[in-house]
Amino acid sequence: MTVRLRLAHTACLEPGELDAVRALLDESFGGDFSGDDWDHGLGGTHVLVHDGSGLAAHGSVVMRRVRHRGRWLRTGYVEAVAVRPDARRTGLGGRVMGELERIIDRAYGLGALSASEDGARLYTARGWQRWPGRVHALSPDGIVRLPDEEGDVFLRPALAGPLDPPGELVLDWRDGDVA
């Protein structure tokens, strides 16, 4: 089967393409993909993989700021990674991640993402490292700890080099799930 891979900024995607991405995410996440989750995946670069049946896989990387040891790092944050159920276990998730990692490695000081246990296998197999330290966010009310996110954040050092696990990560604020 021939697949076609395309990279595009959100602004370059037609409304029908965005509708197809949203439908893929809703299907892949069993209806548990909120409006805030959708918003988090917009405004950056998308990787879209099409096969003979249409959109088969997607992922995006958006710019965020993450503070570590008093330094704010330009972070390529991976969002909205999904593979159509009938196309899973065919390597498409790896192709999407390969393109996202290439973007992160060339354009950002750090790569980050939040993963479920199911998704974690894909990322750790690709060299992403589970962050063992504390996770915080710079909220409208100041810095708040996010204990529920600890253990779910994965990093790709990119240009920043290795980070110090005894330290903490402070994520910029956003609505919905912060990490």
pTM of the shown model: 0.94
Say what the pLDDT of residue 159 is: 63
Say what the pLDDT of residue 118 is: 81
| Residuewise pLDDT in 10s, the chain (179 residues) | 689 999 999 999 999 999 999 999 999 999 899 999 999 999 999 999 999 999 999 999 999 999 988 889 999 999 999 999 999 999 999 999 999 999 999 999 899 999 988 889 999 999 999 999 999 999 999 999 999 999 999 999 766 666 766 678 999 999 988 98
Say what the pLDDT of residue 58 is: 98
99 to each of 106, 165, 173, how far by Cα in Å? Answer: 11, 27, 26
Say what the pLDDT of residue 4 is: 96
Domains in the chain, CATH or no CATH each: 4-172 (3.40.630.30)
Say what the pLDDT of residue 160 is: 60
Burial of 112 (0-12, 13-18, 19+ CB in 10 A): buried
Say what the pLDDT of residue 1 is: 67
List, in sequence order, every residue forming a beta bridge with 104; answer none if it has no partner: none
